[in-house]
Structure 1
Amino acid sequence: MDDNSSLKEALSATSTAVERVLEPFLALSGGPEDRVIEAMRYSVFSGGKRLRPFLVLASAELFGVDRSQALRVAAAIECVHCYSLIHDDLPAMDDDDLRRGKPTVHIQFDEATAILAGDALQALAYEILASEETHADPYVRVALVKELARASGHHGMVGGQMIDLTAEDHDMDEMFIYRLQQMKTGALISFSAEAGAIMGHASKGARASIQGYARDLGLAFQIADDLLDVEGSEEEVGKAVGKDEDAGKATLVTLMGLERARNQARILSDQAIEHLAGFDDKASLLRAVAHFAINRRA
């Protein structure tokens, strides 16, 4: 079996396993709060690539971390990712009606429920990370909570979203967009890959290699997203396309042009793989992810 087929199987298995972990946390209670739980379930169980959870599991395997513990961290990160998508789709943000081929949460339910569902998913992520079942070492649990908070807060994803919302007030050169994307998309991807190293008490050198891999992967992934917004179809991508161009929003694709952007994504993918040179065949799926990131159609 080639790496691409192995990766597809691994992503599918990751999705099933993460949903199995989250199911008990999202059980309906029979009370009036069930509406927000239903909205949380709608978001979490609506599919998606589960790339971030997969990166947790793949990096955890490199450092000999127990899979059941790694799955809990993977589930926590998926909660944060889904919360970010719910809020990103709101009328006050990107105002999207479609996500993963289905109506967005605020369309399926209502805006207030969508906001609360996102808030609750974020809280659930930290509840999971703080549990002794996630890791026996309290210092590891604290490190996971701290690093996820930093990756998802104003130093990372939320800060990147704020920059994105105010981008028209700034000079949108390549370095500005690199910083925006590293915060908005790359920070959570970086934490996902680094989580296994944190759990496995990896050496500084090994952790630095994973950080370098994740940084370049995140940037390549975002360029691929921008290319899909230009070249992909709504059916392929599962959401509206062409919105950046319609809004006159600068991206690396609009600044570089299609060919140069494609080449830059390939360079970043190759650089990500080079960071894994010190690891053995256990890193083969991480290498496959770097290829997948720039060749996907959704």
Structure 2
Amino acid sequence: MVQTISELKSSIDDYLSDHLVADVDQATLYSSMRYSLMAGGKRLRPALTLATVEMLGGTVDENVIHAATALELLHTYSLIHDDLPAMDNDDLRRGKPTNHCRYGAGMATLAGDGLLTLAFQWVTDNGLPAAIRAELTLALAQAAGPAGMVAGQARDIEGEGHQLDLDQLRYLHRQKTGALLRYAVLAGGIITNQSRPVKAALADFGAQFGLAFQIYDDLMDVLGTTAQMGKQVHKDAGEHKNTYPGLLGVAGAEEQLHKALQSAKAAQTKLGELTGRSFAGYDQFLAYFKL
């Protein structure tokens, strides 16, 4: 039986809290890394990996959770760096002062660097078969690197003040946000050694989920409150960011969100057909998108 998101989050929180300290050898750096890592994230990315492993009949043991939680280390690094003065210059994240506001820009940068490199340590320093560890490492590097998330961030910076069309906006967010969520789902297939068609369907679900996640985040910047989001809202328009509501209006962005969710559900159905297993566990993740 697939665990609930709440159960998965609790396991992930406990694991991160217990295991970070063993791999950091400087007190202030550890404090800075832990500050952002344990600041109350939703843990959707490693939860997607673990839920996928369970739905595919795998067992979530110490090796699997070590590899899966590596993604949360990497995601947290990206948030720390995204908030820096040289990037988005945000002073609030998850309802708390951002890392550089608490520790200074230099230590915050190092905390991000530490989390990024530790992520690759965790994805390789476990007892999974060598071929699986190698495949996870390659897929994570591609998702996070200069053809994935980092490229998306670069496009976002260059796009400020320039109106992108819908295809350009989709491409930007497929890299910036979608790449790690696509990896999160695909990783479950890699860990359980699935066939190429099953991995492709998993990657498709993850990509569509990632697109929906970004559209929803854009919408909540317009419709949500700081209390709801745990960060400043209504910033995107003022900073001339390229967003779905900015390009299409709220109604148009909601239509694109609906289309992304339909595509995700189609991939979910295909996974059931390919494997003969139930992927109803993804329903709880899709329920996240409530306006």
Superposition TM-score tier, normalisation by shorter sequence = over 0.9
Instruction: Classify the secondary structure of the residue corresponding to 1:245.
Output: coil
Residue 209 of structure 1 is aligned with which of 201, 222, 226?
Answer: 201
1:45 aligns with 2:38: yes
Indicate if the aligned counterparts of 2:49 and 2:187 stay in contact, CA closer than 8 A. Answer: yes
1:81 aligns with 2:84: no
Deviations 1:224-248 (A, max 9, x none): 0000001111111000011111112
Residue type of the alignment partner of 1:253: P
Residue 16 of structure 2 is aligned with which of 22, 25, 29?
Answer: 22
1:72 aligns with 2:70: no
Superposed displacement of residue 215, structure 1: 1.1
Q: State how 1:144-223 maps to structure 2 within 5 Å.
A: 144-168=136-160, 171-223=163-215
Q: Name 1:3's counterpart in structure 2.
A: none
Q: Name 1:271's counterpart in structure 2.
A: 263
1:288 aligns with 2:272: no
CA distance in 1, matches of 2:279, 2:168: 32
CA distance in 2, matches of 1:207, 1:37: 36
CA distance in 2, matches of 1:152, 1:175: 21
Deviations 1:142-198 (A, max 9, x none): 111111011011111111001101113755111111000000000000000000100
Q: State how 1:103-114 maps to structure 2 within 5 Å.
A: 103-114=97-108
CA distance in 2, matches of 1:233, 1:132: 41
CA distance in 2, matches of 1:186, 1:73: 20
Residue type of the alignment partner of 1:115: T
Residue type of the alignment partner of 1:96: D
1:95 aligns with 2:89: yes
Residue type of the alignment partner of 2:248: M
CA distance in 2, matches of 1:132, 1:289: 27
Deviations 1:13-50 (A, max 9, x none): 2222123222343228997x200100111111111111
Indicate if the aligned counterparts of 2:9 and 2:43 stay in contact, CA closer than 8 A. Answer: yes
Instruction: Classify the secondary structure of the residue corresponding to 1:139.
Output: helix
| Normalised TM-score (structure 2) | 0.93
CA distance in 2, matches of 1:54, 1:154: 25
Instruction: Classify the secondary structure of the residue corresponding to 2:152.
Output: helix
Which aligned segments of 4 or more residues in structure 1 are displaced greater than 3 angstroms?
Answer: 28-31, 168-171
CA distance in 2, matches of 1:241, 1:12: 26
CA distance in 2, matches of 1:142, 1:74: 14
1:255 aligns with 2:250: no
Q: Larger deviation: 79-88 or 257-266?
A: 257-266
Indicate if the aligned counterparts of 1:76 and 1:129 stay in contact, CA closer than 8 A. Answer: yes
Pair 18,288 (structure 1): closer, same or farther in 2 beyond 3 Å: closer
Superposed displacement of residue 260, structure 1: 1.5
- Structure 1 stretches of 5 or more lacking a match? 1-5
Pair 30,287 (structure 1): closer, same or farther in 2 beyond 3 Å: closer
| Normalised TM-score (structure 1) | 0.90
Indicate if the aligned counterparts of 2:221 and 2:233 stay in contact, CA closer than 8 A. Answer: yes
CA distance in 2, matches of 1:239, 1:30: 28
Residue type of the alignment partner of 1:112: G
Deviations 1:121-156 (A, max 9, x none): 1111111111133x1x10110111111011011111
Q: Larger deviation: 259-268 or 218-227?
A: 259-268
CA distance in 2, matches of 1:190, 1:176: 19
Superposed displacement of residue 287, structure 1: 2.6
Please give the root-mean-square deviation of Cα atoms over the aligned residues, in Å.
2.0
Pair 222,30 (structure 1): closer, same or farther in 2 beyond 3 Å: closer
Q: Report how many aligned residue pairs link the two structures.
A: 286
